[in-house]
Amino acid sequence: MDLLARFLWLAVRMIQGPARWFSRRFTTAGAMLCAGLMVSLGTANPAQTLGLSAFLVLLVMLGMAMLWAPFFRPRLTLRRHAPRLAACGEPVSVTITLRNHTPRWQRGMLYGENLRAVPLVIGAVRDWLRQGRHVRTTSRPVPVPPLPPWSTASFPVMVTARRRGPLVIPGGLISRSDPLGIFRGFRVLSAPSTVLVLPARHRLPPLDLPGFRRPQPGGQALASRVGAAEDFAALRDYRRGDPRKHIHWRSTARTGDLVVKEFHDEELVRYALVLDPGDPGEVQAFEDAVAVAASFTCTIPDQEVLLDLLFVGDQALRLSSGRGLGPASPMLEALATITPKPAAFAALESLVLTHVQTLSALVLVVTAWDGPRRGLVRILRSKGVPVTVLLVSSGAVPSIEDPAERPDRLIQLIPGRLSEGLAELGRRP
């Protein structure tokens, strides 16, 4: 498998550039002409003038079409209105505005986004061999409305990003085919912009996760409308940053100094979603693990609980969402740019254990089930935290002989077939 993946990777790297140039430059009629040119070349025989004549005619047509291309140099400027965020796998509409800076009408042009080719890595080829799929960002060229002299025209272009992360669009491509409709002349217009593509998300069943309320530092300010009823503790002097609504006005009027109400820590349900740092060699497994984490970030906060996302970016980080803590969009944006860091699991484990006392339950999304992952489950179980493990892997799940390392639930998710495994979350163990 590895030898075949490396061979295919080298082959694709060699033909990727020429194939991209050919698909952009030649129309459908031009591709048919090239095919006819090759057939006529193979059958050309000096003794039979018909095949040779066909070859020469097709060659002359191709040469005339290619000589026309350098003369396509319209003076145009481009403006792009693109959204800041897009969803992976879903088309997004981008508004293009072109201005004609010539005294002539411009007709018959096509516009396409100048999308950069994503370098192909061996891990992606290996996943393509296993899953039978390879994804890339796509944008179909669209006809440009006729442009009168010294005027502008706006039109939409649909872009479908199938990879999460920053989508850099350096500019646009204006093309027009020669009078024979064989070969396209191109004009590259610069208009750089970046769209952040959020991870793919999957529909989750109604979740019935284990867990219980725990005291949360921050008290009533953190609790907002979630958790147990407010519990008044005492009055104290005002401190910089105290909410104005906590001021006790009767005591303030009596003493002449600001006095605020203090509350006990509230008891809330707080889940932790821990994303495995991943393995660069398992591209599809890590991408699916990120998609699973993104699906949870959009589902759990809707259930009147707090959610902490713990992952490794430049360092081990914790982001929180829920009532009183803000929406899940910062989590999705962080997941959009995350990359595998297999050596950082120790830092992630340390971050989890730092906040374990406030957690009601924990969901661990991993791409491997080895000693360090089982060791983390053992520690969490010893501290009374229920653990649900989602293993994104196509291999067999190792047997767990030590009961202390056995999570409350362990569900295997096959890369490329997440829906089947995620449906298990809605069923009681």
pLDDT tens, position by position, 96-118: 999 999 999 999 999 999 886 55
> Is the four-CA dihedral 6, 10, 13, 18 of positive or negative sign?
negative
pLDDT value, residue 152:
95
Per-residue pLDDT at 213 exceeds 90: no
pLDDT value, residue 215:
56
pLDDT value, residue 229:
40
Give the C-alpha separation, 70 to 7, whole Å: 37
pLDDT value, residue 110:
93
Q: Which residue has the higher pLDDT, 136 or 91?
A: 91
SS3 367: coil
pLDDT value, residue 261:
75
CATH of 269-426 given 3.10.20.810, 3.50.50.100, 3.30.930.10, 3.40.50.410: 3.40.50.410
Report domain extents, the chain: 2-198, 228-266, 269-426
Rounded to an integer, the average pLDDT of 30-56 is 77
The answer regarding whether domain 2-198 maps to CATH 2.60.40.10 reads yes
Residues of the chain with pLDDT > 70, as a percent, come to 78
The residues that bridge with 364 in the sheet, in sequence order, are 274, 389
Per-residue pLDDT at 224 exceeds 50: no
Collect all residues with Cβ–Cβ distance below 8 Å to 208 and sequence separation of at least 6.
426, 428
Residues of the chain with pLDDT > 90, as a percent, come to 30
Q: Token pair of 206, please?
A: 């109604």
Give the C-alpha separation, 246 to 157, whole Å: 52
Q: Which residue has the higher pLDDT, 122 or 314?
A: 314
Per-residue pLDDT at 85 exceeds 50: yes
pLDDT value, residue 126:
53
pLDDT value, residue 301:
59
Confidence of residue 130 (pLDDT cuts 50, 70, 90): low
pLDDT tens, position by position, 355-413: 888 888 899 999 888 889 999 999 999 998 999 999 998 888 778 888 888 898 898 99
pLDDT tens, position by position, 317-358: 899 887 555 667 889 999 999 988 888 899 999 999 998 888
Per-residue pLDDT at 299 exceeds 90: no
Q: Which amino acid is at 60?
A: V
pTM of the model: 0.75
Question: What average pLDDT is seen over the chain?
Answer: 81
> In angstroms, what CA-CA distances link 326 with 201, 224, 308, 320?
20, 11, 12, 8
pLDDT value, residue 221:
45
Q: Are 38 and 159 spatial neighbours (Cβ–Cβ below 8 Å)?
A: no
A 10 A CB-CB count for 374 gives 17
Per-residue pLDDT at 153 exceeds 90: yes
Give the C-alpha separation, 22 to 17, whole Å: 9
pLDDT tens, position by position, 237-288: 887 667 777 788 888 888 888 888 766 545 677 889 999 988 766 778 888 9
pLDDT value, residue 218:
52
